[in-house]
Amino acid sequence: MTQTIEPGNPEAPTQPTDTGADRRPAVATPGSVPAALKRRVPKYSDLAPLMQFKKPGFGRAARLRRASTIWDLRDMAKRRTPQAPFDYTDGAAEAEITLRRARQAFLDIEFRPGILRDVSQVDLGTQILGKPSRLPVGIAPTGFTRMMQSEGEYAGSQAAAAAGIPYTLSTMGTASIEDVAAAAPGGRNWFQLYLWTDRDRSLELIERAARAGNDTLMVTVDTAVAGARLRDVRNGMTIPPALTLKTVADASYRPAWWFNFLTHEPLTFASLSRYTGTVADLINSMFDPTLTFEDLDWLRATWKGKLVVKGIQTVEDARKVVDHGADGVVISNHGGRQLDRAPVPFHLLPEVATAFQADHSDAAIILDTGIMSGADIIAALALGADFTLIGRAYLYGLMAGGRAGVDRAIAILETDMLRTMALLGVSRISELTPDHVRLLAK
């Protein structure tokens, strides 16, 4: 009769063994300590693969390499930049509710990935306003950029050109239209226009932008008056920064910024006459609060390139500016720097995309405000944006490390976008749809 023996049964009878049994590996008995868990003195051959000490990295290049997110660059920027220019970049209007909501909007989503797709090659290239861009993001217009770091607009335009993306120069820039074009001759440059009460001055800027090769004019329409940027008020922010007891004390912790500031060309508005005073006073004295859609008609008749309207915050206005000849809109609340509690661009985006689709409009939809990662950009594209713009995200890089810092900011966003696309199961921008993103209920 055959006897059944259960594996691991301690009461099983001992079986005869052959002469080769001693050569087999020992089998641990129940309750014994596995060999791998017994303590022993480590051998050098075990330790050698673990001892890979790297030479410590110091200096700006090493610090930038260690930055993995835009927030890391922001931390570096705060350490290296005096409070007034840092807060000018980092802050927003009044209680800064709009800015917090804009950033929170990107967190309140759920990605919905597809599986079993070939994502061995992910292409982030796209078309915007009739020309290609290697990435679906460009650099937004930012004023007073050389105040943040002495390389200013030159660093931004050169980094954008190297990355194959558009760069937008602000009317309030601290480098001229011509100098930016010369600094980045192979880049795609756009010019952002604030319409002034003096139309002849506006026309002069438009003509200079055209002669310098700018193919797109971006007119900003959300600055009838200056927003209440309370950080600037509390810091006594002026253009150029004034030397007070407070700023001198602040400078003692950030000598590199002040050395660069004092040893380079004085900070002025390259597209304006020399001006000294607060930002709010400048806006309120020079910009035109009487603008209407008739002025947009004048711009459309005057400018022969692509025309984009920035500062769109309702579906109705998006449709109306396209009816008046705009080739695209920038859904934007000025980075939260004008009207506090303004609409959140990311929330408005699907409505504008649906409206343009219903109108059979091919006008470009561009989004800014609140973008701090490549995943934010991909979410915007999925919900209907054709393109995005970054302001603070690249300025943090600029303040952290000049041109190299801007390069690092763009590289971080590109890495984020490639990873997010692959994990969503898409290999091209055109494959993104609203099904890839769900807005979470509040």
Residue 11 has pLDDT above 60, yes or no: no
Q: How far is it, in rounded angstroms, from Cα 79 to Cα 84?
A: 13
| Token code pair at residue 71 | 């927030």
Structure confidence at residue 426 (pLDDT): 97
Structure confidence at residue 4 (pLDDT): 47
Which range among 22-26, 205-209, 313-317 shows the weakest confidence by mean pLDDT?
Answer: 22-26
The pTM (predicted TM-score) of the whole model is 0.86
R_g over Cα of the chain: 29
* pLDDT tens digits, 406-422: 999 999 999 999 999 99
Percent of the chain with pLDDT over 90: 64
* pLDDT tens digits, 385-402: 999 999 999 999 999 999
CB 340, CB 94: distance < 8 Å: yes
Residue 110 has pLDDT above 60, yes or no: yes
Residue 380, C-beta contacts closer than 8 angstroms, at least 6 positions apart: 346, 349, 367, 371, 388
Specify which of 22-36, 140-154, 286-300 reaches the highest per-range mean pLDDT: 140-154
Residue 244 has pLDDT above 70, yes or no: no
Structure confidence at residue 13 (pLDDT): 52
Residue 376, C-beta contacts closer than 8 angstroms, at least 6 positions apart: 106, 370
CB 437, CB 380: distance < 8 Å: no
* pLDDT tens digits, 67-81: 999 999 999 999 999
| Amino acid letter for position 415 | T
Residue 65 has pLDDT above 70, yes or no: yes
Structure confidence at residue 30 (pLDDT): 72
Structure confidence at residue 10 (pLDDT): 47
Instruction: Kindly name the residue from 264, 324, 334, 436 that is annotated as catalytic.
Output: 334
Using 50, 70 and 90 to split pLDDT, how confident is the model at 290?
A: confident
Q: What is the mean pLDDT of residues 273-296?
A: 69
Can 334 be counted among the known catalytic residues?
A: yes
Residue 195 has pLDDT above 90, yes or no: no
Backbone angles phi, psi at 115, to 5 degrees: -115, 170
- The neighbour count for residue 349, using CB atoms within 10 Å, is 22
Q: What is the mean pLDDT of residues 221-234?
A: 85
DSSP 22: G
* pLDDT tens digits, 123-180: 999 999 999 999 999 999 998 899 899 999 999 999 999 999 999 999 989 999 999 9
For the chain, give the number of residues. Answer: 442
Structure confidence at residue 162 (pLDDT): 98
Of residues 401, 388, 337, the one with CA closest to residue 72: 401
Residue 7 has pLDDT above 50, yes or no: no
Mean pLDDT for the chain?
87
Q: How far is it, in rounded angstroms, from Cα 364 to Cα 326?
A: 9
Q: How far is it, in rounded angstroms, from Cα 68 to Cα 352?
A: 33
Strand partners for 190: 168, 216
Using 50, 70 and 90 to split pLDDT, how confident is the model at 15?
A: low
Q: How far is it, in rounded angstroms, from Cα 390 to Cα 330?
A: 12
Residue 441, C-beta contacts closer than 8 angstroms, at least 6 positions apart: none
Percent of the chain with pLDDT over 70: 85
Task: Write the DSSP assignment of 299-356 as a string of letters.
Answer: HHHH--SEEEEEEE-SHHHHHHHHHTT-SEEEE--GGGTSSTTPPPHHHHHHHHHHHH
